[in-house]
Amino acid sequence: MELTNTEKQFSILFFVIVLFELITGNTDTLQMAHYIAKPAIVVSLMFLFIKTSEGISKSIKRITILALGFSVLGDILLMFVDQSPHFFTVGLVAFLLAHIMYIVVFLKHRNKQKSIVGFVILLLMYASGLFYLLKDGLGDMLIPVIVYMIVILSMATTAFIRKGIVNHMSYNLVFVGAIFFMISDSILALNKFYQPIPFSNISIMLTYALAQFLIVIGILKISVTNSKV
């Protein structure tokens, strides 16, 4: 199984949009264009998904669109954090809901025979190290960040336990996408609550865009037989 012509053509368009976002996001004089470019990343994925998801069950289709919709909302809210810290909190909630939607989608193809113990231990070690760096700077955001960390670790775990149920391409794309999502959120958290990271805007957006792209393409690659749930 490989990318269709539509997906190949979209991939070029998608990474042009991402490049446009990176340019506008790091150029003060192009700030207005950035307000369009940033949400356009996930909006474009929504259009692709809606157009090419005929073989996917209605439940997976609806929930995936919700995940992408909450992601767009989160993208928009995080663009205005300089105006009020409340935008960050509400944006966090939007992405929390996006992750929960992805968890629901991934659980529809869970392999009940697959052990998650080793993988969860690795995730907890990673999360513990990250939390150690963040804890002193969290303040009132301590509980929300802990909840968010639990949810995104759960999202990565549910992506992991699809192995053996979906085809290899769908599994690999979704799993790698989930890991990139975790990396993107980790960089964002470190940059905000620990210390500024050089070129953080670029690294956060590249890993985030790649995460969403891989997850959406991975869901589209679920075989028709396995997607009838």
Residue 224 clears pLDDT 80, i.e. is over it = no
Per-residue confidence at 225, pLDDT binned at 50, 70, 90?
Answer: very low
Q: What percent of the chain has pLDDT over 90?
A: 88
pLDDT tens-digit readout, 141-171: 999 999 999 999 999 999 999 999 999 999 9
Beta-sheet strands, E only, within the chain: none
Helix H segments across 139-199? 142-160, 168-193
- Own/partner pairs, 8-14, CB within 8 angstroms, 24+ separation: 10/44, 10/48, 11/213, 13/44, 14/41, 14/44, 14/45, 14/209, 14/213
Per-residue confidence at 45, pLDDT binned at 50, 70, 90? very high
Is pTM beyond 0.75? Reply is yes
pLDDT at 84: 85
